[in-house]
């Protein structure tokens, strides 16, 4: 399995040499491309080098186990046991590092959260989840930009769409897609009964213009006056934009900006991400139709998580993970959920 690692190391050294070339350094685009590729290989090469070292140390200590001095024999035996354990761990790590990379992992992400069953209570939970992801993004040093929102009167959202930019955003958030269920006593409930509501989350990799070409003839752009809660510009100018992609019937509306031009640009960015997501799903299904490839890896129809307020409990149903730290989770402390999910899907990928 590790045969090609020498080739990888050779390529890594070649890139290192190129980065030191003044001609490459004078071409920022080329330098950046090589630097990114070199950085992506760094962890794999570093782990492989340690793996080789450990194997060499095991061979040396195995020889010492036949030494005339019994004390040296004992020390060598203990060292071999310790090194074999490290070798096993390094082999596991290398298997994970050698898994095919998701080409979207390094991309920024379009986050879409929509109220499902539960009316106003579901809309309030959309706001809670948006706050949770925004705080997680803040902890990671990522930037969150609201692209479109449809607020309700008491602080909720029927829908909110945002662009999250930063390092490897998609790789961290891609398993958040699905149905998020909330169990709590709504603020509108006089009897104090617990209600169950649902919200859908979609995580889409940001698409660049080079990824998805949208023919201007394939879209219809309608402008209208903004509506709903807002500032002085609401209902005074035709700044809201509705973009319809005629071949697929996809519709995106944006009214958050005062400028029609900015709303159109945001709507096209969202449309591009949805079209890329659609294309990739179709390709994925064609390649692996026999496996339900999206079930368990972020299908929006799947109930993935429950947030139970009376018990202060969060349960991720895919990996059977339960945490009794609901306040911390909603405050953006998602590391203890996201890391086990990534580990689980990596282990699943190693089985195939």
Q: Residues of the chain with pLDDT > 90: what percent?
A: 48
CATH class of the domain whose range is 109-206+293-351: alpha beta
Report residue 231's pLDDT band, with 50, 70 and 90 as the boundaries. Answer: very low
Q: Residues of the chain with pLDDT > 70: what percent?
A: 90
**pLDDT surpasses 70 at 334:** yes
* Dist CA 223 CA 197 (whole Å): 33
CA distances from 333 to 59, 131, 133, 305 (A): 44, 12, 9, 15
Mean pLDDT (whole number) for 20-26: 89
* Dist CA 113 CA 312 (whole Å): 22
**pLDDT surpasses 70 at 286:** no
* Dist CA 44 CA 97 (whole Å): 6
Phi, psi of 44 (to 5 degrees): -65, -45
Q: What is the pLDDT of residues 292-307, one digit of tens each?
A: 443 334 344 568 999 9
CA distances from 131 to 135, 258, 292, 345 (A): 6, 24, 32, 26
* Dist CA 24 CA 17 (whole Å): 10
Find where tokens 């602080």 sit: 155
Spatial contact of 187 and 124, defined as CB atoms under 8 Å apart = yes
Mean pLDDT (whole number) for 149-162: 90
Spatial contact of 326 and 312, defined as CB atoms under 8 Å apart = yes
The architecture (CATH level 2) of 216-286 comes to 2-Layer Sandwich (3.30)
Hey, is 249 helix, strand or coil? Answer: coil
* Dist CA 120 CA 227 (whole Å): 18
pTM exceeds 0.85: no
The pLDDT score that the predictor gives to residue 61 is: 93
**pLDDT surpasses 80 at 238:** no
The pLDDT score that the predictor gives to residue 102 is: 77
| Residues 131, 177, 37, 32, Cα dihedral to 10° | -40
DSSP 328: H
Mean pLDDT (whole number) for 314-332: 95
Hey, is 307 helix, strand or coil? Answer: strand
* Dist CA 209 CA 5 (whole Å): 35
Q: What is the pLDDT of residues 35-86, one digit of tens each?
A: 888 888 888 899 999 999 999 999 999 999 988 888 999 999 999 999 999 9
- Pick the closest to residue 113 from 214, 166, 182, 168 (CA basis): 182
The pLDDT score that the predictor gives to residue 35 is: 87
Tokens coding 320: 């059977």
* Dist CA 155 CA 120 (whole Å): 9
The pLDDT score that the predictor gives to residue 259 is: 86
* Dist CA 295 CA 286 (whole Å): 15
**pLDDT surpasses 80 at 22:** yes
Question: In 10 A of CB 214, how many CB atoms?
Answer: 16
Please classify residue 136 by burial: count the beta carbons closer than 10 Å to its beta carbon, then call 0-12 exposed, 13-18 middle and 19+ buried.
Answer: buried
Lowest mean pLDDT among 103-112, 222-231, 260-269: 222-231
E strands, the chain, are: 109-115, 143-151, 157-165, 178-184, 195-205, 219-224, 240-245, 250-254, 303-308, 313-316, 321-323
Tokens coding 305: 């998580």
Spatial contact of 118 and 158, defined as CB atoms under 8 Å apart = no
**pLDDT surpasses 90 at 206:** no
């Amino acid at each position: 399995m590790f045969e090609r690692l020498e080739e990888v190391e050779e390529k890594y050294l070649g890139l290192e040499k190129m980065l030191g070339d003044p001609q490459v350094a004078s071409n920022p685009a080329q330098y950046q491309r090589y630097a990114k590729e070199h950085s992506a290989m760094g962890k794999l090469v570093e782990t492989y080098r340690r793996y080789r070292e450990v194997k060499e140390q095991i061979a040396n200590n195995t020889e010492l186990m036949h030494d005339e001095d019994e004390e040296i024999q004992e020390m060598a035996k203990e060292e071999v046991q310790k090194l074999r354990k490290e070798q096993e761990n390094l082999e596991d790590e290398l298997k994970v590092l050698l898994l095919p990379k998701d080409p979207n992992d390094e991309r920024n992400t379009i986050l879409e959260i929509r109220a499902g069953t539960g009316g106003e209570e579901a809309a309030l939970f959309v706001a809670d989840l948006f706050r949770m992801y925004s705080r997680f993004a803040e902890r990671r040093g990522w930037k969150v930009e609201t692209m479109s929102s449809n607020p309700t009167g008491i602080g909720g959202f029927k829908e909110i769409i945002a662009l999250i930019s930063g390092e490897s955003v998609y790789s961290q958030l891609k398993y958040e897609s699905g149905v998020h269920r909330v169990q709590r006593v709504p603020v509108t409930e006089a009897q104090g009964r617990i209600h169950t509501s649902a919200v859908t989350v979609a995580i889409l990799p940001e698409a660049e213009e080079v990824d998805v070409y949208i023919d201007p003839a394939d879209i219809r752009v309608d402008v209208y006056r903004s509506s709903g809660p807002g500032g002085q510009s609401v209902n005074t100018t035709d700044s809201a934009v509705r973009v319809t992609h005629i071949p697929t019937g996809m519709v995106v509306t944006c009214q958050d900006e005062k400028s029609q031009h900015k709303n159109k640009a945001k709507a096209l960015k969202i449309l591009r991400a949805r079209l890329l997501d659609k294309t990739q799903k179709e390709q994925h299904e064609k390649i692996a139709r026999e496996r339900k490839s999206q079930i368990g890896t972020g299908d929006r129809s799947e109930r993935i998580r429950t947030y139970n307020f009376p018990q202060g409990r969060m349960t991720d149903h895919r990996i059977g993970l339960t945490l009794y730290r609901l306040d911390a989770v909603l405050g953006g402390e998602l590391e203890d959920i996201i890391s086990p999910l990534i580990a689980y899907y990596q282990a699943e990928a190693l089985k195939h």
